[in-house]
Structure 1
Amino acid sequence: MIILVALFHPFTMFHKALIFIASLYLLLWAPVSAQDSALVFRSLDSIRKMPDDTVKVNLLMNRARGLYRFFDGRGQENAFLQEAITTSQKMRYAKGMAEAYNELGTSKRNKSQYLLATEYHERALKSAQDARVTRLITISLNNIGVDYRRRDMLEKAFDFHFRALKSAEKDKDDRSLAIATNSIGNIKLSDAKYDEAIEVFNRSLRIEQERDNELGIAINLGNLGYAYEGLGKLDLAIDYYKRSLAVNERIKSVTGMSICYTCLGTAYQKKKNYPLAMDYLQKALALNDKVEDKIHSADSYISIGRLLNEEGKYEEARKYLQEAIDLGLKWGFKSTLMEAYKSMSDNYKHAGDLNLAMDFNNYSILYKDSLLREKSSTEFAQMQTLHDVHQKDNQIKQLQQDQDLSQLRIRRNLALAIALAGFLFMLIVGGFFYIRHRNLQANRQTLQLELRSLRAQMNPHFIFNSLSSIHRYIWSNNQEEASDYLTKFSKLMRMILDNSQHTFIPLNRELESLKLYLDLEALRCNYMFDYSITVSENINEEEVLIPPMIIQPYVENAIWHGLVHRKEKGMLDIAVLLRGKVLEVTVTDNGIGRKMAMEIKEKKGRMHNSMGMKVTEGRIALIRKINNTKDANVEIHDLQDNGEATGTKVKIVLPAEFLF
């Protein structure tokens, strides 16, 4: 078909020959091995020589779809896809751009680069709307919905999937309709709206049954099992898991069978039917051993270890958990190591060996923090890539605007010269006084901007540390504690976002956010410490003002460098006093003391820099400059009893600020 179109086009014989050669490549050379790289790029060069038209774009897209593994294996961008985008942009071929950007966005999503995926899929949507192709609009909407779902932005995901659903219904596109419906069900499932999820999954299941799509049927049956398990209807969940398993066995989907075996094992574990649960988990393990990606085997070892923990078979459980740890260390599975170490900590805790339990729990926390840092770095790299993409897109527009801008600059400069000549005498007479006033204002504004900048650093640091606490409950599927944690965390985030807009906030709001933070940290540390907050009677908490987030870094330092290393339960005391025009805040802990904390840090290697304390010290220094006072400093005292460390006391001194 491609050859026929080419022959009727008024090209030269040379162009016809190029099209014929490119077509032969498509027909005879679909699978490309690692040794065919020279042939791949000769094919690309041949297509590049073709005239810019839809035939060329379609050839590029077909080759791009067949060569993802080739380019991914070399860590390179798909050159055919990039050429298709460039050619479509030159032609202003909206349909080609929509298809190419959809492919590019999906490839980024498959590599967990969700920010880039969202950017490219939104470009695909705009191009599809320009082309007025309903099918491409629906596909783009579904793709954006999936991107937002992977980023846990459920409201936006629901909005795009709902729009895709309406578009698919209008176009009678059953495939896109099934995808949108199933995606909406998954959003309901993630939001714990199980009854609504069941209704949506049943609708998607009927569509897939009408299409006779067995993979879609298996997926929806499994999703219905998840929903009924969420409602606590374990027998009904097991029935759907078994129905999904039967379909996966029929289509010989090893991954689907493994998922079903794991789900059945988890469900029977909840029913306390441990022998049957173990049987299904062992079946999942046997299947995963046949798969090249060993992370599935590691997950099965962890699931079996947790089951044996629950049965009280601690020594046997350790063997499976150690297998998971060995695989995690060999292949670098950080999330697996985090979960395996946590399960090993629970094992030793229930076995009565609290020292080993604490050691394994610390290993788990280290890997959680490492995963968060890695995710933050990945997202930063994606943001940098987006910046580069936008910069490249703007270069052409910028070149077109330069000529017009140069003419405007000439006229503007002439007008300025005339104006400056007219006001020259006035500027000479009043310049000295104006410059002096301006410099004074500039100095004060500079200090204020520096203070805001430091406060802006403080909040991301605090949010980063707080987010690491939430992973344990999500991964362990502890719904009640996870719900409690998320409720407090979301309230704390709202307070942080509101407070960060102000240089000073009322003391009661600062203490309220501090209490929420302490509750979250106590929960994260398994209530290894208690705390108390006392405020002097002469303080009206609504009228006395304090910089936001000024106490939290010292509280965090007391917990993680002092209290968590105690074998017994620790105590943290926070006191707020008002002495004339000076506000004093003391943070006292009965931890191991700074000297022993430094020894532990040096022994384990430097894993953490106290960024929060450095930023806070900078803030206090700026407050001292702005107010031109010595009443702004921090004092740290080591507490001792007969020469032995009994804790640390931090005194924060600030000039008192009042609302009225």
Structure 2
Amino acid sequence: MRVVFKYIWFLGMLLSTAFMYAQVDSDSIDQERRFTLRGSVIESETQDPIPNVNIEVNGGAYTTTDFSGEFRIQAKRGDELIVRHKDFETVYYTILSNERITVKVEPNEEEAKYKQKKFSRSNPNEFKSLIDSAETYLKKDAKRSIQFIESALIKSNSAKENAESYEVLGDIYMFWKQYDLAVSNYRISNQNMKTSIVKLKLAAAYKQNNNYQESIETYKEISKRKLSNWQLVQLYEGLGDVYFLTQSHQLSIDNYQKGLALAQKHLITPKITDLNSKIAQVYNVKGESLKAEGYFNKSMKLANTQNKKRAIEEKIKVADFQSTNNNYSSEIALRKEALEDINDIAYDSILDNASPLTSQKQNYKIGNAFALQKDYENAIPYLEKSIEEADSKEDLIVQKEATRKLHEIYRDAGQFDKALIAYQSYVELVDKLYIKKEQEISQAARFSKDIVSKQNRILSLESDRALTESQFQLTTEEAKRQKLIIYSLIGGVLLLLVTAFLMFKYIKQQRFANNLLALKSLRSQMNPHFIFNALNSVNSFIASNDERTANKYLTDFSLLMRAVLENSEEDFIPLEKEIKLLELYTKLEHFRFQDKFDYTINIDESIHVQDFVIPPMLLQPYIENAVWHGLRYKKTKGHLDIMITQTKSDEIKITITDDGIGRQKSKALKTEHQQKQNSKGMGNIKKRVSILNEMYKDKVDVLVDDFKDEEDVGTKVIVTLKKD
């Protein structure tokens, strides 16, 4: 029977318009533009599938139709699709989008003379339409895409359609970085129908979910004979990625080299560039810089022959390589070239703040490279430019890092006034970033909750389907069906438990991270007030023409400031170090108010101070309050006493007492603004102690009370510190 090609129907006319609009991006690299084209070849009259039809794309991909007449092949817009079979004339068609196509042929000998290939659109069946809709919304709206999959599963009539539904569901979760759910759905798809494409996706999902051994095993199980050239390159690249993550560097290089040889043989240009770059990265990690540089040179030359965006990406990778090897001049030159190219593509490409191709990131890294060379004159303009651009694009992370680096440069250059301004800006940015991170965590939690809810509905739908089908089976088959249902329900419950455990673990980790960020923010708030008071002291000495005293005070203050900044990133520091800081700080305060008080610091000789740790800057505010709000207003000369004693083998008590005017009188003397500022300072300490006790199980206890029953009642602060 001779068959003549009649026409190709394109599915989803309304969906294709939206999809093509989303896909148009002239600067995207070839790999990003590739998609999986789905289609089928059937007879027009009988609707019977035609197996073993040769399907080829001029870019090198090749496959055949399966027993159901369907095929899937990697392609991109503009490729030419070639359909060959012994019973009809070869068909050539230019691919315009990734919408599903159906090739219908009919046995009609009289029409053979026309030899014209007719392409037309038809309405898809309901299931295929739902799958296409899910793929269209995959990158835009996860919830809506999942809803289409849910509807497709209801319409599914075979294991093959079930497999396709769960595969697309896995693709959705993979894109939205829900890797554990992606793994689950790819596995379900593979259970319904085993295909090499799904196994490739499953192996990649295992890798992203940090199941490295499972990923390696899955890659090795895939039959290489069933893969197209492009897929085989993907397999070797994926294996290389997993071995790199597990630090099996030689195995990683071996697999990358296999993929590179195959890509070069079949002229798969995007992969040639990618694999040269990845081999260079592995050699760099191994410490073989010369080999790494050679492969990076190759990848840069190849990237320059592709589109500009890909060339920029490779320049930035090579610049990072030069940075790790301290070749700052080469790094700066590459980043400047990349910066010019980024400005060129800025009008045509939308780059979010997470992209490494943003101008603010490159300006920051150029400034950082100049700073590492001690070339502060060139570093400052780039950092200022980075801060300005990051502010306009609301990139708080880069703005914060650039501001911190600017503060360090001014500090190292001795420009303390500018350093202080930069540091204050840095503190404000830390607070803003903390608030933003809290909002992002809350949004991510809501998104994850919705996703898990929809996944549970789909699992429930699958269970209901199994229950319904079991009612129509014979008695001998019914027992088997019931077992399958029970196992499915148990699997669903286990999946729910695992998902709940992972969510609980994730929330716990995020809470701990939030506490660390809050502590850092609270610690950073202590420093500006402390620096401000000390600089006021220096100013007063200078104003009174007491230059020698000011110089001496400033020398001691710089030692204290250096120690405070060194400890500002730590949750706890050794008690011995904190005691030295207190001695230096108290000495400075006494130096300024010699006529107001004397002080003593007593440490029990039996205490092993090296066995205890304490939060930095915890005691200093209490000493500051004692001097500034108690002893300073006392009519006679007062006394400040700091005593450290050991009450238990794992506990010490730090007592700070003064015979000043007391808290009530001090409060009465303050202005409204001073009361507010003091309230904030004490609130800061309470928050720090509360967070530390939550994280480290009641490690610190603070008690504040009156010292004695006299006119000048004074103040007593008792800090109890427990050993780990």
When the two structures are superposed, what TM-score results if normalisation uses the length of structure 1?
0.56
Q: Do residues 558 (structure 1) and 602 (structure 2) align?
A: no
- Residues 170 and 182 in structure 2, CA contact (< 8 A), matched pair in contact too: yes
Counterpart pick for 1:257 among 311, 331, 356:
311
1:169 alignment partner, one of 191, 212, 224: 224
Paired residue for 1:118, among 177, 180, 187? 180
Matched residue, 2:194: 132
Instruction: Spell out the pairing of 1:464-543 with structure 2 (5 A cutoff).
Output: 464-466=514-516, 525=569, 530-532=574-576
Distance of 1:84 and 1:528 partners within structure 2: 51
Per-residue CA deviations over 1:599-647 (Å, capped at 9, x if unaligned) read: 38959x9999559459759987xxxxxxxxxxx994424999xx9x999
Larger radius of gyration: 2
Report the residue type matching 1:224 in the other structure: I
Q: Which residue of 2 aligns with 1:417?
A: none
Give distance in 2, aligned partners of 1:618 and 1:232.
39
Amino acid at match of 1:293: L
CA-to-aligned-CA distance 1:275-331 (integer Å, 9 cap, x gap): 433221111101111233164211111111111112222243222122222222222
Aligned to 1:307: 369
Whole-angstrom CA distance in 2 between matches of 1:369 and 1:560 = 25
Q: Which residue of 1 aligns with 2:257?
A: 202
Quote the Cα distance in structure 2 between the aligned partners of 1:574 and 1:204.
Answer: 67
Residue 293 in structure 1 maps to residue 356 in structure 2: no
* 2:453 counterpart residue number: 388
Question: Alpha carbons of 1:468 and 1:99: their partners in 2 closer, same or farther (altered >3 Å)?
Answer: farther
Residue 212 (1) aligns with residue 256 (2): no
Partner of 1:31: 20
Deviations 1:91-133 (A, max 9, x none): 25444344444444444544xx423x43144213212222233
Name the CA distance, whole Å, in 1 between partners of 2:701 and 2:18. Answer: 72
Equivalent runs, 1:216-365 vs 2, <5 Å: 216-252=271-307, 254-269=308-323, 273-289=327-343, 290-291=345-346, 292-293=350-351, 295=353, 296-352=358-414, 353=416, 355-356=420-421, 358-359=423-424, 362-363=427-428, 365=430
Is this contact kept in 1: 2:434–2:517, CA < 8 A? no
CA separation of 1:397 and 1:301: change in aligned 2, threshold 3 A = closer
AA paired with 1:127? S
Q: How many residues align?
A: 466
Tell me the secondary structure at the aligned position of residue 703 of structure 2. Answer: strand
Aligned-residue identity in percent: 12
Alignment partners' CA distance in 2, 1:589 and 1:232 = 54
Q: What is the Cα deviation at residue 367 of structure 1?
A: 6.0
TM-aligned CA distance change 1:461 to 1:356, over 3 Å = same
Which one of 38, 56, 59 corresponds to residue 126 of structure 2? 56
Deviation, 1:212, is 2.2
Closer, same or farther in 2 for the Cα pair 1:222/1:588, shift >3 Å?
A: farther
2:618 partner SS: helix
Give yes or no for contact 1:185–1:198 (8 Å, CA) kept in 2: yes
Which residue does 1:87 correspond to in 2?
A: 152
Question: For residues 174 and 255 of structure 1, what CA distance do their matches in structure 2 show?
Answer: 25
Alignment-mate amino acid for residue 636 of structure 1: L
Give the SS at the match of 1:558. coil
1:578 aligned residue: 648
Cα distance 1:358–1:128, how it changes in 2: closer, same or farther (>3 A)? Answer: same
Is the 2:11–2:124 contact (alpha carbons within 8 Å) kept by the matching residues of 1? no
CA distance in 2, matches of 1:457, 1:213: 43
In 2, the alpha carbon distance for the partners of 1:653 and 1:102 equals 55
Q: 1:193 to 1:332 in 2, by over 3 A?
A: farther
Secondary structure of 1:283's counterpart equals: helix
Q: Distance in 1 between matches of 2:507 and 2:150?
A: 39
Contact preservation (8 Å) 2:256, 2:278: yes
Separation in 2, partners of 1:601, 1:323 = 38
The answer for unaligned runs of 5 or more in structure 1 is: 8-18, 35-42, 44-52, 404-455, 471-520, 540-550, 564-571, 621-631, 655-660
Letter in 2 for 1:531: L
CA contact (8 A) 2:383 2:406 kept: yes
- Cα separation, 1, equivalents of 2:213 and 2:656: 47
Call closer, same or farther: CA 1:319–1:615 in 2, change over 3 Å: same
Once residues 463 and 129 of structure 1 are traced to their aligned partners in structure 2, the CA distance between those partners, rounded to angstroms, is 39
Higher relative CO (CA 8 A, sep ≥ 6), structure 1 or 2? 2
Displacement of 1:222 in angstroms is 1.1
In 2, Cα distance between equivalents of 1:205 and 1:559: 61
CA RMSD of superposed structures (Å): 5.6
1:114 aligned counterpart, secondary structure = coil
Tell whether the 8 Å contact from 1:229 to 1:267 is kept in structure 2 after alignment.
yes
What CA distance in whole angstroms lies between the structure 2 residues aligned with 1:28 and 1:179?
A: 30
Shift of 1:362: 3.4
TM-score by length of 2: 0.51
Q: 610, 616, 636: which is aligned to 2:703?
A: 636
Q: 2:720 aligns with which of 627, 651, 657?
A: 651
Partner Cα separation in structure 1 for residue 621 and residue 445 of structure 2: 29
Change in CA separation of 1:526 and 1:232 when aligned onto 2, cut-off 3 Å: farther
Deviation at 1:244, TM superposition (A): 0.6
The whole-number CA distance in structure 1 between the counterparts of 2:675 and 2:289 is 48
User: Do the aligned residues in 2 keep the contact of 1:169 with 1:177 (CA within 8 Å)?
Assistant: yes
- Distance verdict in 2 for CA 1:535–1:240, change over 3 Å: farther
8 Å CA contact 1:181, 1:204 repeated in 2: yes
Q: Tell me, which stretches of 5 or more residues in structure 2 are unaligned?
A: 24-98, 100-122, 469-505, 521-564, 578-602, 624-641, 658-662, 668-673
The answer on whether the counterparts of 1:221 and 1:243 sit within 8 Å (CA) in structure 2 is: yes
Q: Which residue of structure 1 lines up, in the alignment, with residue 592 of structure 2?
A: none
Aligned partner letter, 2:397: S
Confirm or deny: 8 A CA contact 2:215 2:242 kept in the other structure: no
CA contact (8 A) 2:189 2:198 kept: no
Change (3 A) 1:273 1:647: farther
Higher helix share: 1
1:523, 1:614 → 2: CA distance? 16
Indicate the residue corresponding to 1:13 in structure 2.
none
Tell me if structure 1 keeps the 8 A contact 2:706–2:715.
yes
2:103 aligned partner: none
**Match for residue 181 of structure 1 among 220, 236, 242:** 236
| Aligned partner letter, 2:361 | D
For residues 202 and 695 of structure 2, the distance between their equivalents in structure 1, rounded to whole angstroms, comes to 49
Amino acid at match of 1:558: L
In the other structure, the counterpart of 1:599 is 677
Q: Which amino acid aligns with 2:351?
A: D
Deviation at 1:653, TM superposition (A): 9.1
In structure 2, C-alpha distance between the alignment counterparts of 1:617 and 1:159, rounded to whole Å:
34
Question: Which amino acid in 2 is paired with 1:389?
Answer: K
What is the aligned partner in structure 2 of residue 548 from structure 1?
A: none
Residue aligned with 2:720, SS? strand
In the superposition, relative to structure 1, how do residues 598 and 560 fare at CA in structure 2: closer, same or farther (>3 Å)?
farther
Q: Do the aligned partners of residues 326 and 535 (structure 1) sit closer, same or farther apart at CA in structure 2, a change above 3 Å counting?
A: same
Mean Cα deviation higher: 271-280 or 525-534: 525-534
